[in-house]
Amino acid sequence: MHTARNADGEPGGTRIGRHAVVVGGSLAGLLAAHVLAAHADRVTVVERDRFPDEPEPRPGVPQSRHIHVLLEGGQSALESLLPGFLHELRAAGAPRVGMPADMVQWQNGCWFRRLPASTYIHTGSRARLEHLVRRRVLANPSITVVQGTEAVGLLGDASRVRGVLLRERGDAADTEPRPVEADLVVDASGRGTKAPRWLTALGARAPREETIDTGLAYATRMYRDTSGILGTGTLGYHVVPGPSQTRGAVVLPLGDGTHLVTFSGLRGDEPPTDEEGFTAYAEKLPHPFVHRWLRASEPLSPVFGFRNTANVRRRYDLPGRSPAGFLATGDALCAFNPIYGQGMAVAAMNAVALRDALADPRRTPTTRRVQRALLSSSRQAWDISAGADKHMPGATGTAVTGGAADRATGWYLRRVQERYPGDPVVGAAFRSVLSLAAPLTVLFTPPVARAVLFGPAAPTPAEPPAAREEPVI
């Protein structure tokens, strides 16, 4: 069978090529492979690690021991890609936490009303979710995984990528890499991507990078709630950091009777990774409720730290920045400060954007057009994460400075945040945006705008609310 090609010489029509290679076998790479299998004869996933047989953390996902949440936008995307997946996730024991009903939450000196949930997050281990995705995706006989192997370069030239260079891990550095030809190469190798350097080696231009870095670091430890405080009326705790109070804390259930506790702090105030220092850091939070729970609970693991938290967006979508036959997705395209919990959702949303761009009957799927669709699907998450981080003290990077439009929007969003903890209308709209389930424009609909512009901030609890509020009938 011959592959149809468009005016750029790229694969077009109903098939994008006979062979696609995806670099990286994490969530973004697996979901990209799943989409590409509907268009290519063969899809090869190249993964540096060897996948564990059970849902366990692996070296290639260094943040996997920390708290992960699947936002509502990611849930919808995953269900669209893998029908029935959310049922499998719940059957595997991943907790479903209603926001704000199930959480005791503090931000900017205010306790949140525990109003009926307007959105839900799935918590649980990252390893378990990825294991479920991997099992579904790799059941497709068109998809092959090459494990214990890393990509070390690209084949082709400045106008077109034609494959990858592979080397088995453990081989000597001077071992000649093995060329693997492909009609399309997708970089899903994560934050540590080397693709910009590989493209430069071909004579192509590296993507322009936009960065915002607060120097945030976080540390996580697993606990068992021996006091019985969490698990029925309350499922978790959240101290939300901001410019005036930069320390954060999250306590969320894993679904097996254990909880993960994550503390975060900015450059110079990083949470310690020793046991005594970790517990002492909880005393620095603006209220002792997390520290009290910590002291009454049983620690089950060492403390794990993580510091690579900058927001980085690579602009492969700009003219002349990417040769034909090459795409980037997931963190290799747009990486966010993990404290906002967006990474897994955006990986799934990227895959939906890839699917829709390739299947669009109105437009030929050129490299730039598809790459623009991928970037667009991550734009809202970038606006939230980078938009918040640029106001944190000590933030650095190429995208820190905003213009007049940013200042006007910032004034409005500050009023949204002031009303968010206590106003049901503003709170539901803002949570839908933060969960990537609704566009930013919902914050400007008439009911929300009236409350933001003309209404006072609603009263909030004076102390940590111990119980959910009953719905008004």
443 and 302 in a single domain? The answer is: no
Count how many domains the chain has. 3
Q: Are residues 51 and 169 in the same domain?
A: yes
Question: Quick one: 55 and 135 in the same domain?
Answer: yes
Which of 266, 286, 306 corresponds to the end of one domain?
Answer: 306
* Residue that terminates a domain, selected from 341, 358, 385: 385
442 within a domain of the structure (yes/no): yes
Q: Say which CATH number the domain at 295 has.
A: 3.30.70.2450
Q: Are residues 350 and 293 part of one domain?
A: no
Among residues 275, 306, 337, which one ends one of the domains? 306
8 Å CB contact between 137 and 449: no
pTM, two decimals, is 0.94
Same domain, 234 and 274: yes
Is position 398 within any domain? no
Q: Cβ of 109: how many Cβ atoms within 10 Å?
A: 12
Give the whole-angstrom CA distance, residue 273 versus residue 279.
10
3-state secondary structure at position 137: helix
What single letter denotes the amino acid at residue 345? A
3-state secondary structure of 274: coil
- DSSP code at position 94: -
Domain holding 255, by residue range, is 216-306
Q: Residue 460: inside a domain, yes or no?
A: yes
Residue 138 maps to which CATH number?
3.50.50.60
The 3-state secondary structure of 364-397 reads CCCHHHHHHHHHHHCHHHHHHHHHHHCCCCCCEC
The reply to whether 361 and 419 lie within a common domain is no
Cα distance between residue 285 and residue 216, in whole Å? 16
The answer to whether 220 and 339 are in contact (CB under 8 A) is no
* Shared domain check, 115 and 261: no
Residue 60 sits in the same domain as residue 149:
yes
Beta-strand ranges (E) seen in 245-292 are 248-253, 258-265
53 shares a domain with 21 = yes
Pairing of strands 149-156, 110-111: unpaired
Q: Are residues 158 and 291 in the same domain?
A: no
Is the residue at 76 inside a domain?
Answer: no
Query: Which residue type is seen at 263?
Result: F
The reply to whether 321 falls in a domain is yes
Q: What is the pLDDT along the chain (473 residues), one digit of tens a residue?
A: 233 334 343 444 444 559 999 999 999 999 999 999 999 999 999 999 999 998 888 888 878 889 999 999 999 999 999 999 999 999 999 999 999 999 999 999 999 999 999 999 999 999 999 999 999 999 999 999 999 999 999 999 999 999 999 999 887 777 899 999 999 999 999 999 999 999 999 999 999 999 999 999 999 999 999 988 898 889 999 999 999 999 999 999 999 889 999 999 999 999 999 999 999 999 999 999 999 999 999 999 999 999 999 999 999 999 888 899 999 999 999 999 999 999 999 999 999 999 999 999 888 889 999 999 999 999 999 999 999 999 999 999 999 987 666 777 888 999 999 999 999 999 999 999 999 999 999 999 999 999 999 989 999 999 999 999 987 66
341 and 421 both lie in a single domain: no
Q: Which tokens is 432 given?
A: 């839908």
Do 176 and 270 share a domain, yes or no? no
